[in-house]
Amino acid sequence: MRAYFAELYQRRIVEPLSREKTSSARREIIAASAAGALFGLLFWWLNHDLSPSAEDMGEFYWRLMAMGSEGMIR
């Protein structure tokens, strides 16, 4: 499942934003990192009785990924 999400993240987020000079290895590393972060946050959330809300966790994840990935993609 993690590999599937990493591939999806790379195809939908990283590749459209990356410039041609971003290597495929770098794109794969960014996607693997995003997948690991998602599953880490998911396990944390499950261990904390689903609090904060799913919507808040989703927003937090995407903001975290945008801040972390932006400088690495370009």
pLDDT tens, per residue, the chain with 74 residues: 889 989 988 888 888 877 677 788 888 888 899 999 999 999 999 999 999 999 999 999 988 887 776 666 65
At residue 73, the pLDDT reads 66
**Which residues, in sequence order, are CB contacts of 37 under 8 Å at separation 6+?**
61, 64, 65
Distance of CA 26 to the CA centre of its chain: 14
At residue 24, the pLDDT reads 85
Taking alpha carbons only, the member of 53, 29, 23, 58 closest to residue 9 is 29
Which pTM value belongs to this model? Answer: 0.76
